[in-house]
Chains A and B, each alone.
Chain A
């Protein structure tokens, strides 16, 4: 049974067209939720960590929020350089075992 589900699988946006990505999770004892960005041919790059429901974090055009069941990554007025696959991961246990979602591939066109 999937513990981390991301939607949509793919998202095509016009430059400046804001949107949100969803990450829903079913782990019982969430210790942390992580957002990563992955460019083609590269490793995932850390964006945010969220620890408890209600928490929000921002970085440039990205804003991550967390509830008890899901997290959203909001992309405000995206630019073509925001094109990437965005991965969500949850940590449940004490050591750093992350369960990743399948990712959302975002393409931003000029």
Chain B
């Protein structure tokens, strides 16, 4: 069983379109994350949810909107896609606790490669 699964694996779309990426984890974790990995392989955090509550919201265009229907799912919706949005998007989860770094081991999905044409 895949612990953190993302769909789709590849997404090719035109500029201006709206698209969604889905993420599900079966680890029973309380916290989920979205990261963006650009062409230089730099992984940057975008959002984090703990028990469906937004706890990290980095400087990300408001065209990106995360949604967490329950603690096992965190989806990412992107409006009006731009060329610069092309990247690999990773979902991750952890059994996070603010006082316990040991529980912050983050488990990543395989990524969604988004190409905006």
User: Which A residues form the contact surface with B (CB < 8 A)?
Assistant: 31-32, 34, 36, 41-46, 49, 51, 85, 87, 89, 91, 94-98, 100, 102-103
Contact = CB atoms under 8 A, between A and B. Distances in A.
A2 to B, nearest CB: 10
Contacts, number: 66
15 contacts: A34-B105, A41-B111, A42-B111, A45-B108, A46-B107, A49-B101, A49-B102, A49-B104, A87-B43, A94-B98, A95-B31, A95-B56, A95-B96, A95-B98, A97-B56
A43 B110 contact: yes
Interface of B: 4, 31, 33, 40-45, 48, 50, 55-56, 90, 92, 94, 96, 98-99, 101-102, 104-111
B108 A44 contact: yes
B103 to A, nearest CB: 9
B60 to A, nearest CB: 13
A23 to B, nearest CB: 14
A97 B45 contact: yes
Contacts of A96: 31, 33, 48, 56, 94, 96, 104, 106
Closest 6 CB pairs of A and B: A43-B108, A32-B101, A94-B98, A100-B43, A96-B104, A96-B96
